[in-house]
Amino acid sequence: MAVTIHDIARELNLSSMTVSRVLSQPDSNLVKPVTRLRVEEAAQRMGYRPNRNARALASGRTNIIALWISHLSTSVYSQIAQACRVAVQGAGLEISISEMDWHFRAHEGHRLFQWPVDGILAVDPPPQDVLEKMLSSTNWKDVPRVHLGSGQSVPWEGDYAHVDLGAATRTAIEHLVSIGRKRIAYVVPWGGNQPGMWHYDAYIEVLKKAGLRPECIVMDDWECPTVRRTVIEHIKAHGHPDGIFCHHDEFAIATFRALRDLDLQVPKDVALIGCEGNIFLEYFDPPISTVAMPVDDMCRTAWELLRQRINEPDSPPRNAILPFEFLARASSQ
């Protein structure tokens, strides 16, 4: 079987405690240097690997941060996973990525990945009331947690690092107005075209100021084929807008294809802007404009908030709102 601290202790005629100190507190000077060296040498030679389950059980700490994220297939989500990993590993902890299916019911909580963790980074979780009901039957409800992402789940009472979606939308729509577009549509997921939603409020505000009429094209789900079909049907029924802002870059990709299916030119007939920062957009012909999330900044900030929360569980909640960057490309010129 695997080598334990007791095996090493026996080999060296020491107590397991001394071995434990050497192996779990590399920087401690509670052990005589000579002893430390002997232990380290023996651990190396005998192939010792700590049992993390035992460590966690005894100490109550796991040194793991969970990353909750929904569909990794969205390009920006995978960038977020990468950036969080770098931030967390930089602090000497490990990250465990869990693809969360946010559709689980509260009573199914027991079926989830409920390993103990020291903290949670939750990317675009459901609204606070829904989320808390879900977590009520899990181990996680009292684990320090920071929310990050596009801000769909703000406001909530805890810590968060989000991007300023309202400002992003405003910039994009104002750009469409500034290049003379008069019929500016918004491709939006189901439920997104209501007052109170950041994107929507900004869209309405800018259009009103410009004296233009809103036109929402509402998607039943987030799948590209759905978006492509829905946009085609909308345009066949109502004619085409001359500018389109998409709630999400994948919507913009599918909308682009829909426009080409109808033989409409981008940007000549329809100017197009996405939202998120998908890296493939600039490789389209023409390259597609977008407002990009500051992924690295956001993840670093979220981790910093989580680190502080872990160290000072009772400090007041903090948050950071980060700016988007508008990437103007040929699709909106």
> Which chain residues interact with DNA by CB under 7 A?
1-2, 4-6, 13-18, 20-21, 23-24, 29-33, 35, 48-51, 54-55, 57-59, 61
Residues β-bridged to residue 276: 292
Q: Which of a copy of itself, DNA, none lies near 301, with the C-beta cut-off 5 to 8 A by kind? A: none
* Residue 35 or 152 having the CB closest to DNA: 35
* Residue 1 or 237 having the CB closest to DNA: 1
* Residue 14 or 69 having the CB closest to DNA: 14
**3-class DSSP string for the chain:** CCCCHHHHHHHHCCCHHHHHHHHHCCCCCCCCHHHHHHHHHHHHHHCCCCCHHHHHHHHCCCCEEEEEECCCCCHHHHHHHHHHHHHHHHCCCEEEEEECCCCCCHHHHHHCCCCCCCEEEEECCCCHHHHHHHHCCCHHHHCCEEEEECCCCCCCCCEEEEECHHHHHHHHHHHHHHCCCCCEEEEEECCCCCCCCHHHHHHHHHHHHHCCCCCEEEECCCCHHHHHHHHHHHHHHHCCCCEEEECCHHHHHHHHHHHHHCCCCCCCCCEEEEEECCCCHHHCCCCCEEEECCHHHHHHHHHHHHHHHHHCCCCCCCEEEECCEEECCHHHC
Minimum CB–partner distance for residue 100 and DNA (Å): 23
Q: Which of 260, 269, 325, 333 binds a copy of itself (CB under 8 A)?
A: 260
Q: Does 105 bind a copy of itself (CB under 8 A)?
A: no
* Residue 70 or 153 having the CB closest to a copy of itself: 70
Question: Using CA atoms, how far apart are residues 36 and 40, in angstroms rounded to an integer?
Answer: 6
Minimum CB–partner distance for residue 97 and a copy of itself (Å): 4
Residues β-bridged to residue 218: 188
Q: Does 4 bind a copy of itself (CB under 8 A)?
A: no
Minimum CB–partner distance for residue 135 and DNA (Å): 18
Q: Does 256 bind a copy of itself (CB under 8 A)?
A: yes
Q: Which of DNA, a copy of itself, none lies near 79, with the C-beta cut-off 5 to 8 A by kind? A: a copy of itself
* Residue 146 or 253 having the CB closest to a copy of itself: 253
Minimum CB–partner distance for residue 11 and DNA (Å): 13
Q: How many residues bind a copy of itself (CB under 8 A)?
A: 47
Here the tokens at position 6 are 């007791």
Minimum CB–partner distance for residue 323 and a copy of itself (Å): 23
* Residue 2 or 237 having the CB closest to DNA: 2
Q: Which of a copy of itself, DNA, none lies near 29, with the C-beta cut-off 5 to 8 A by kind? A: DNA
Residues that bind a copy of itself (CB under 8 A): 2, 49-54, 56-57, 62, 64, 71-73, 75, 78-79, 81-82, 85, 94-99, 110, 113-116, 138-139, 224, 228, 253-254, 256-257, 260, 279-280, 282-285, 287
